[in-house]
């Protein structure tokens, strides 16, 4: 492990730990509360509920990149013996503190552990379910991670992934850029116009960098260089693939409006977005996979 890698790892842990602490001040790390957050209500709720519907009492479940632990906890609330792994001690402290508050009402169990997901060493054929949400695109050792997931799942076990893959297509970037220019966002219209005049033909590349969260964290986008779906398909049987909208997730994060106005608009955009993806007019990068170990 090089000094540069250690420094990046520490930076990654610090950034996401601070984000877990910030969010927990407003919303308890519990799916019952996180479900109503705007990005979940618009984009993720149906598929997270789909994963949780697969959990049965007594199952052994693992989450990689658990952050503040709300999804790991949700699996335990369905009766699983759940383990959450994350690089950030601060995130895990948030997760453990909340679990201590609610554990008397949780039918399953939860254990949170610190781990570098680029250097996994998981026990063989231990878990019935492994869930990985918005984590693979941060990993530099993606092939090892998929190998370890396969190693740790029981035969017939479920792998659930929700993540992005590849770069944003130019058509998607244009759609997202146009919508965030026209709709109210955290950036005032005057500043948007100034940026458009300043960057001109370079504006789409700026929007693409924003959509891909370029530079957000030390390892942001590291896994985009390798196609995790191809690695999964080589080892698992894909049961279901859900193509998430192409631009609606980005617009959801940018839109500045009360939920009473924003949610109907975003859900309408989501429907239109999906139609364009289905018709092949836009290409999405975000998807959800339900896969089984043969």
Name the pLDDT band for 1 (thresholds 50, 70, 90).
confident
Q: Does residue 214 fall inside a structural domain?
A: no
Least confident of 1-15, 146-160, 253-267: 1-15
Asked if residue 88 has pLDDT above 80, the reply is yes
Q: Does residue 116 fall inside a structural domain?
A: yes
Q: Does residue 127 fall inside a structural domain?
A: yes
* CA 169 – CA 64 distance, rounded (Å): 28
Q: Does residue 23 fall inside a structural domain?
A: yes
* CA 208 – CA 185 distance, rounded (Å): 17
Q: How many domains does the chain have?
A: 1
Name the pLDDT band for 35 (thresholds 50, 70, 90).
very high
**Which are the contacts of 36, defined by CB distance < 8 A and separation ≥ 6?**
none
* CA 294 – CA 246 distance, rounded (Å): 31
Output the domain CATH number for residue 12.
Answer: 3.40.50.150
Nearest to 97 by CA among 35, 16, 20: 20
pTM: 0.95
> Which 3 state secondary structure label does DSSP give 124?
coil
pLDDT reported for residue 222: 85
Residue 143: how many other CB atoms lie within 10 Å: 12
Q: Does residue 123 fall inside a structural domain?
A: yes
Q: Domain range spanning residue 105? A: 3-166+219-246+282-292
Name the pLDDT band for 105 (thresholds 50, 70, 90).
very high
* CA 96 – CA 82 distance, rounded (Å): 13
Q: Tell the burial category of 256 from Cβ atoms under 10 Å away from its Cβ (0-12, 13-18, 19+).
A: exposed
The token pair at 217 is 């964290």
| Interhelix angle 228-235/142-152, nearest 10 degrees | 30
- What are the beta bridge partners of residue 149? none
The token pair at 277 is 């993806």
Q: Considering the chain, what is the average pLDDT of its residues?
A: 96
Q: Give pLDDT tens digits for 202-233.
A: 999 999 999 999 888 999 988 887 899 999 99
pLDDT reported for residue 262: 97
Q: Does residue 202 fall inside a structural domain?
A: no
Contact (Cβ atoms closer than 8 angstroms) between residue 226 and residue 147:
no
- Mean pLDDT over 229-253 rounds to 97
Q: Give pLDDT tens digits for 131-176.
A: 999 999 999 999 999 999 999 999 999 999 999 999 999 999 999 9
Q: Give pLDDT tens digits for 41-77.
A: 999 999 999 999 999 999 999 999 999 999 999 999 9
- What are the beta bridge partners of residue 287? 163, 243
Name the pLDDT band for 126 (thresholds 50, 70, 90).
very high
Contact (Cβ atoms closer than 8 angstroms) between residue 90 and residue 84:
no
Q: Does residue 84 fall inside a structural domain?
A: yes
Q: Does residue 133 fall inside a structural domain?
A: yes
């Amino acid at each position: 492990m090089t000094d540069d890698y250690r420094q990046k790892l520490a930076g990654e842990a610090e950034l996401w730990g601070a984000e877990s602490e910030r969010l927990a001040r407003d919303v308890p790390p519990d799916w019952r509360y996180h479900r109503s957050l705007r990005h979940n209500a618009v984009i993720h709720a149906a598929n997270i509920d789909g994963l949780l519907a697969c959990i049965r009492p007594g199952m052994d479940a693992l989450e990689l990149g658990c952050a503040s632990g709300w999804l790991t906890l949700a699996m335990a609330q369905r009766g699983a013996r759940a383990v959450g792994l994350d690089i950030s001690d601060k995130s895990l402290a948030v997760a453990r503190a909340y679990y201590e508050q609610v554990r008397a009402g949780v039918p399953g169990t939860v254990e949170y552990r610190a781990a570098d997901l680029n250097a996994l060493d998981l026990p063989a054929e231990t878990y019935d379910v492994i869930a990985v949400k918005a984590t693979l695109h941060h990993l530099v050792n993606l092939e090892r991670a998929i190998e370890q997931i396969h190693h740790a799942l029981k035969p017939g076990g479920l792998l659930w992934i929700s993540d992005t893959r590849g770069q944003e297509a130019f058509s998607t970037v244009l759609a997202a850029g146009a919508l965030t220019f026209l709709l109210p966002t955290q950036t005032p219209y005057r500043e948007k116009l100034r940026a458009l005049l300043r960057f001109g033909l370079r504006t789409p590349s700026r929007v693409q960098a924003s959509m891909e969260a370029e530079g957000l964290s030390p390892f942001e986008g590291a896994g985009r260089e390798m196609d995790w779906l191809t690695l999964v398909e080589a080892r698992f049987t894909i049961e279901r693939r859900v193509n998430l909208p192409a631009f609606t997730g980005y617009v959801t994060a940018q839109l500045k409006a009360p939920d009473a106005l924003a949610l109907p608009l975003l859900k309408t955009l989501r429907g239109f977005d999906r139609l364009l993806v289905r018709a092949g007019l836009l290409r999405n990068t975000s998807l959800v996979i339900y896969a089984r170990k043969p």
